[in-house]
Structure 1
Amino acid sequence: MTRQVRTSPGAAYDLGYHVVWCPKYRRPVLGGRVKTGLEELIRAKAGEHGWEIVALEVMPDHVHLFVRPHQKNSPSYVASQFKGFTSHHLRAEFAHLRSQVPTLWSRSCFVATVATVGTVGTVSAETVRRYIETRYERAPGAGGGA
């Protein structure tokens, strides 16, 4: 993957986050129409902010997202935007989510910064993209496990 330096007034940056989050109690509720709806909502929220989604994979019990936000957006802000927006809309559309889990997402998440060009001590963007895209091929059983 080649370096894609983005610019804004007063800054030039090359930034990517690998974000992983799970439903409360890691319940496997992200299948079928919920999965499709979640993917659409994540893409809509990214578009609203002007963030680029490099890779997205929704597993039954967690989400992997590789996103390239603006340099002014902190990792916690990016994660909270996706989690809050998707929880609100999915719980409104799918009543079974309200009865299966008290809140859709757990309070925690994992965020790692990702270099778009390989450097020592940093996972490359290509490695993260490949990991996310081949997740189902490596998952034990029917797509479980992180």
Structure 2
Amino acid sequence: MSQDYKRAYTSMYLLNYHFVWIPRRRRPVLVGRVAERLKELILEKAGELKLEVLELAIQPDHVHLFVSAPPNLAPNQIMFRIKGYTARVLRREFPWLRKLPSMWTRAYFVSTAGNVSSETIRRYIEAQSTSA
């Protein structure tokens, strides 16, 4: 896989981030309709933020998201916006999720990847989907 560099008005960039985050208390609540809706919400918010979703895997107790992002968005902003938006909507649409003190933990994992390791991360995330 070879991604092309992207251009903005004053910059040229290739910023890929691999995020992993978990529901509060690592509860396996991301199944069935909740998982489907979460995927829709992440893709919707990614579009608003001008992120290119390279890979997405939702497991019962964690989420992997691999995105290409513009340089004007820091990784913490990406997570803040995606986690905040998905938590609000999911807890409104699935009232039983309100039993958790919060939808997501405050913590998350993020790593950067360029062209060389992007395919490795993509294969890893795909393997997560098939192992569940």
TM-score class normalised by the smaller sequence = over 0.9
Structure 2: unaligned runs, 5 residues or longer: none
- Aligned counterparts of 1:12 and 1:136: Cα–Cα separation in 2: 33
Aligned partner of 1:56 in structure 2 is 56
- Return the offset for 1:50: 1.4
Matched, 1:15 2:15: yes
Q: CA RMSD in A?
A: 0.9
Aligned partner of 2:119 in structure 1 is 126
- Aligned counterparts of 2:129 and 2:85: Cα–Cα separation in 1: 26
CA contact (8 A) 2:28 2:60 kept: yes
- Aligned counterparts of 2:39 and 2:67: Cα–Cα separation in 1: 13
Equivalent AA in structure 1 for residue 23 of structure 2:
P
Equivalent AA in structure 2 for residue 40 of structure 1:
E
Q: Percent of aligned pairs with the same residue? A: 44
The 4+ residue runs of structure 1 with deviation greater than 2 A are none
- Aligned counterparts of 1:33 and 1:41: Cα–Cα separation in 2: 12
Equivalent AA in structure 1 for residue 32 of structure 2:
G
- Return the offset for 1:137: 3.5
Aligned partner of 2:4 in structure 1 is 4
Equivalent AA in structure 2 for residue 66 of structure 1:
F
- Return the offset for 1:80: 1.1
- Return the offset for 1:134: 1.3
- Aligned counterparts of 2:35 and 2:85: Cα–Cα separation in 1: 15
- Return the offset for 1:136: 3.6
- Aligned counterparts of 1:86 and 1:104: Cα–Cα separation in 2: 9
Which runs of structure 2 are paired with 1:9-48 in the superposition (5 Å)?
9-48=9-48
The number of equivalent residue pairs is 132
- Aligned counterparts of 1:3 and 1:30: Cα–Cα separation in 2: 30
TM-score, with normalisation over the residues of structure 2?
Answer: 0.96
Aligned partner of 1:83 in structure 2 is 83
The DSSP-based 3-state class of the residue aligned with 1:38 is helix
